[in-house]
Structure 1
Amino acid sequence: MTNFEKKYDVIVAGAGVAGVSAALEIARSGRSVALLEKTVMCGGLATAGFVYIYLPLCDGYGTQVSFGFAEELMHASARYGPGAPPPDWKNSAPGKTTKRLMLDFSPAAFTLAMDEMMSREPAIDRWYDTLVCASIVEDGRIKGVEVENKSGRGRVLADIVIDATGDGDVAARAGCAFHEEGNKLTIWALQTSLAVARQAAAKGDASGFLDFQMIGLEGENVDPAAKKKNYPWLGTDGKSVSRFTIETRAALLNHYAKLQSANNADTSRENLYPIALPTMAQFRTTRAIAGRATLDSGMAWKHFDDSIGLVADWRRRGSVWEIPYGAMVPLTVDGLLVAGRCISSHNDAWEVTRVIPPAAQTGQAAGIAAVLSLRKNIPPAQLAAADIQAELRRKKLPYHFDEVGLSAPESS
């Protein structure tokens, strides 16, 4: 039994960077959109998960490849807090220090900036503290989702649904095929210290207070006992999520306990301590849907006729990828799109596409596709990529390598 029912043009499940980008695109096109979020803040891993690095929008050699909301949100992330890309990022060259169009940001400041952007769009109805419990599928087409919040159980219906949960929750519950991978034991936390305060005071610059402690499975500070825990660290398994959360916090506790008991004034509990912990488990790869196209290792510099945007490899310079629209369209279930780190990517390609700029890029593309599907009264799977590309051209958003003056290296 349900307590309420609401109808919109589009549902976007998940208010991470992908979901926010999709919702903004849809609202600015004049369509109503319900943005459903299980936490009480937008931004996903970038904010609640403390993954506070806005990774590169450029190829590492001075050419910007990602634009639109990927760029707009980068600037928004530093609007109410510190952070700026290197002013000379365009001058990077082989043999020189890598400088890229990227920045570190305050998660809280980024959250406030995104809230401000969405507050200007009355067509976005934000549903915080709302858990998607089930997908409503009839005759092979998704019609909406069942949700649970303080009002009880309800149905949210729409003509198009975008899964931007990061975990593919809506797609999986709708019966879409997917694959999943495990994760390393990792936690990022915000700390403060007297040493950092002294440095900030000496420089007259408080940006140094963005002092994050990262502990990973392969790091030196992780609790050795935690390494021996035989858990797969799957973000799609309830027990694994609980154990991941427990073990990462135990590793962090062990780290500070050792420092604070070392009889060192600089690391005493008064002078060095954590001040904020992530409010969501920091899984990077969980589910990736089986799409009509799949990105995989070795596909950097591969041309796709149905490309909807360009993204850079954040790990190395000179590696750029096109993202095919087919990677956002499930093989089964009409009326559904995916955006963010649950698009159809495998192996090395998943490492490239799971981060902030590709999330914004696919989120905006999903928003465009949803609006065009509504306009043409067809499901997204029947939408021609050429129609999406026409809208991208109208917005001056490149989607092929040659449009930003790049071509595949001869060795690719």
Structure 2
Amino acid sequence: MKRQLIYATVFATLGIALPGLASAEGFYFGEETKGITFTQGDSDLTIRVRFQPRFDYGEIITSKDGTNYESDGDLYLRRVRLEFAGRIVPKVKYNLTLDGDRWDQAGNSNKVSVKYVFVTWEPDPAYSFFFGKLKLPFSRDQLTSDSTGLMVETAAAVDNAKNIFGASNGYFQPKIAVFGKLMEGSIAYEVALADGWQNGETIQNGRTVYKAPPLVAARGELSPPGWAEPKKLGSHLGKGQHLAVGLSYARQGSIEYQENGFEEDRSLWGMDVSGHFKGITAQAEYIAWEIDSSEPAIGETKPEGWHVQAGYFIDGLNIEPTLRYEVYDEDTKVDESKEKSTTLGVNWYGKGHSLKVQANWVHTDFEDNASGRLTNDDSKDVIQVQGQVFF
């Protein structure tokens, strides 16, 4: 009862305080900022800084004997980013982004790393070339910038899928890619070649990789004429319209184990539909992957998941109620291995995505064979409150 009272108090406080910062026209603190830009001849450099203070409260730890969830709080910085981006010449772009994700979160070791570093050559909208480190081309939820996310976190299935092609957050890795848009954006595509798993890395099943061929990933998107999305956004803040259907596929086969003569293949596929019209935003996504090992003791694993989410931006108040329902099956070959989550949220925008506050209430139920199921607990509730300053 105490837990539910705290959750209700958080949302009631936001409901009373945030509308008080409403603006009759535009955002209370003005329009979004886009960083500081320096220009010399045909070259330019834009510097941007972003940080997201975060507070989680609820059943985020387990009891000392590990049989049930216990309530606790954790205050940390979910993301800290320093971005340098621009053009070397008119059709050649570059980006270097440093990050300090989950800074001071319980159990996390603080470190600064290179999140993105890449160069693109864009001679024509129909075909452009990429080299560097960035996201692999699959999953609408992951490809959407987390600075514009409709919800505080990505869906569980999508979050787990990002780790199947590398030892440490393999969704972000060096790649060579060709990408482009046709028919004024009605058709968009990307085909990428990346390292994936490499020699000496320990794969999730405990085996060490001896060698493996490159990872291939591809994505295509279709939109009706006039409904193409110039840039993927989680929330469009009541502006414009888009409708898109996306298909993704990625595969790395013949990943040889160092310990023996066995190997495994990894494949991923997904489909998503997204759209918005003025204040209404909605998205649905299905993603699945297969890990097929020739070693009998490991065998085959087939996780999958899907989610639907929506929000409605209320102009003037500049608040956006949101809702998501998701199902993640950790292995479709195992009965009762699903976790099901319902998320209720609200976003407030003081300066568009440059200054905002998001609050989510996440309730998760675990089936008997799901990894989150504890002896005396088959569900948990967590409140996530996250701010963003992006300038």
**For this structure pair, what is the TM-score category when the shorter chain's length is used for normalisation?**
under 0.3
Higher relative helix content: 1
Higher relative strand content: 2
Q: Which has the higher contact order (CA 8 A, sep 6+)?
A: 1
Q: TM-score, normalised by structure 1?
A: 0.22
